[in-house]
Structure 1
Amino acid sequence: MNDGNTDEAFRAAHTIKGMCQNMAFTRLYASSHDITEVLRGKDLEGARQMIEKVGEDYNTVIAGIEKLLAQP
């Protein structure tokens, strides 16, 4: 998004959304769905306002995966 390319940002968000739906990462799916729809409308500023939430949800998923991998 830093280069202003909404098409590329849309594709990335859409890919993340699909992966999250397939893996039942519901919070990250919801936030990636929301940012995908904003980017579909080419609203880069709106997407920038949402990216922190997507990042938080992503970090939550990663922390959960790491916790599972650490189990014996």
Structure 2
Amino acid sequence: MDENKRQRLEEAGIDVADALARFMDNEALMFKFLLRFPEDKNFPLLKQALDSGDAAQAFEAAHTLKGVAGNLAMTELFRQVSLLTEDLRGQNLSAARARMPALEACYARIIAALRELS
């Protein structure tokens, strides 16, 4: 892998070695899935559900986003959304909303990096 690409992905919070291992060292397949991530609807669904106070829908979107982030080795996003998911599991909307700025910052870094590399 090109070192600049690797560095950009790592800076965005993606554990490239782990991602490659998950895709059996198939770099093309890894990039195929990473570059599809911006199309995933769970982050906007999470924001919308939190804005409308729908804890159940927010939990579903957060839990799904957590799985996607984990599978793509987006370590910081996974960590942030895991914390938020647990807040929602406990029906604590205010705590979940308080976590959104950090989660949104992680998400934005990943989206920016992926758009640069596409």
Partners in 2 of 1:6 and 1:38 — Cα distance? 10
CA RMSD between the two structures: 0.7
The equivalent residue for 2:82 is: 33
Aligned residues, how many? 69
The structure whose Rg is larger is 2
The equivalent residue for 1:6 is: 55
Structure 1 ranges of 4+ moved more than 3 A: none
Q: CA deviation at 1:50?
A: 0.3
Question: Does 1:59 find its partner at 2:112?
Answer: no
| Unmatched tracts of structure 1, length 5 or more | none
- Matched AA of 2:81: S
Q: TM-score, normalised by structure 2?
A: 0.57
| Unmatched tracts of structure 2, length 5 or more | 1-49
Partners in 1 of 2:60 and 2:112 — Cα distance? 25
The equivalent residue for 2:66 is: 17
Q: CA deviation at 1:52?
A: 0.6
The equivalent residue for 1:42 is: 91
